[in-house]
Structure 1
Amino acid sequence: MSTSSSSESAGATVNRKVHDALPGAVADKIPHIPESKEELKAEIKAEAKAAASTSFAQLRSFVAGGFGGVCAVVVGHPFDLVKVRLQTAEKGVYSSALDVVRKSVAKDGLRRGLYAGVSAPLVGVTPMFAVSFWGYDLGKTIVRSTTGAAPDSNLSIGQIAGAGFFSAIPMTAITAPFERVKVILQVQGQKTLAPGEKPKYSGGTDVVRQLYKEGGIRSVFRGSAATLARDGPGSAAYFAAYEYIKRKLTPKDPITGEASGKLSLTAITCAGAAAGVAMWIPVFPIDTVKSRLQTAEGNVTIGGVVKGLYSKGGYKAFFPGFGPALARAVPANAATFLGVELAHQAMNKVFN
Structure 2
Amino acid sequence: MFAVSFWGYDLGKQIVGAVSPIGPDGLSTGQLAAAGFLSAIPMTAITAPFERVKVILQVQGQKQLAPGEKPKYSGGLDVVRQLYREGGLRSVFRGSVATLARDGPGSAAYFAAYEVIKKALSPKDPVTGKPTGQLSLTAVTCAGAGAGVAMWIPVFPVDTVKSRLQTAEGHVSIGGVIRELYGKGGYKAFFPGFGPALTRAVPANAATFLGVELAHQAMNKMFGPK
TM-score bucket (shorter structure): over 0.9
Q: What is the CA–CA distance in structure 2 between the aligned matches of 1:316 and 1:322, rounded to whole Å?
A: 10
For 2:12, give the aligned amino acid.
Answer: G
CA contact (8 A) 2:121 2:139 kept: yes
Query: For 1:168 and 1:287, how far apart are their aligned partners in 2?
Result: 14
> Counterparts of 1:137-286 in structure 2 under 5 Å?
137-149=10-22, 154-260=26-132, 262-286=134-158
Q: Which has the larger radius of gyration?
A: 1
Paired residue type of 2:85: K
Q: State whether structure 2 residue 216 is matched by structure 1 residue 344.
A: yes
| Counterpart among 197, 204, 218 of residue 332 in structure 1 | 204
The answer to whether the 8 A contact 2:84-2:91 is kept is yes
Offset at 1:189? Answer: 1.1
TM score, norm. by length of structure 1: 0.62
Deviations 1:82-107 (A, max 9, x none): xxxxxxxxxxxxxxxxxxxxxxxxxx
1: CA distance between counterparts of 2:163 and 2:178?
Answer: 12
Q: Indicate conservation of the 8 Å contact 2:118/2:133, yes or no.
A: no
RMSD: 1.5
Q: CA deviation at 1:223?
A: 0.3
| Residues 13 and 32 in structure 2, CA contact (< 8 A), matched pair in contact too | yes
> What secondary structure does 1:193 align onto?
coil
The structure 2 residue matched to 1:301, chosen from 170, 173, 184, is: 173
Once the two structures are TM-superposed, the CA of residue 238 in structure 1 deviates from its matched residue by 0.4
Q: 1:347 to 1:205 in 2, by over 3 A?
A: same
- Aligned-pair distance for 1:190? 0.8
> For 1:221-251, what per-residue CA distance to the aligned partner results, in whole angstroms no more than 9, with x for missing partners?
0001101111111110000000000000011
| Shift in Å, 1:260 | 4.1
Post-superposition Cα deviations, 1:1-21, rounded to whole Å, max 9, x if no partner, equal xxxxxxxxxxxxxxxxxxxxx
The aligned counterpart of 2:193 is 321
When structure 1 is superposed on structure 2, of 190-199 and 309-318 the one drifting more is 190-199
* TM-aligned CA distance change 1:240 to 1:316, over 3 Å: same
Q: Where does 1:117-136 land on structure 2 (aligned, <5 Å)?
A: 128-136=1-9
How far is the alpha carbon of 1:194 from its aligned partner? 1.8
Q: Which has the higher contact order (CA 8 A, sep 6+)?
A: 1
Quickly say closer, same or farther: Cα 1:153–1:351, change in 2 above 3 A: farther
Structure 1 residues 218 and 339: CA distance shift in structure 2, 3 A: same
Distance (whole Å) between structure 1 residues aligned to residue 162 and residue 132 of structure 2: 44
Counting aligned pairs with the same residue, the percent is 82
Report the TM-score when normalising by structure 2. Answer: 0.95
Please report how far the alpha carbon of residue 254 of structure 1 lies from its aligned counterpart in structure 2 after TM superposition. 4.4
Tell me the alpha carbon deviations over residues 307-329 of structure 1, each in whole angstroms, 9 at most, x when there is no partner.
10011111111111111111111
User: Are the aligned partners of 2:119 and 2:133 in contact in 1 as well (CA < 8 Å)?
Assistant: no
Unpaired runs of at least 5, structure 2: none
Kindly state the Cα deviation for residue 199 of structure 1 after the two structures are TM-superposed.
1.7
Paired residues, number: 224
* Distance across 1 between alignment mates of 2:14 and 2:163: 33
Q: Which runs of 5+ in 1 are unaligned?
A: 1-127
Q: Could you say what secondary structure the match of 1:189 adopts? A: helix
Matches of 1:296 and 1:261, distance apart in 2 = 46
Q: What SS does the aligned partner of 2:162 have?
A: helix
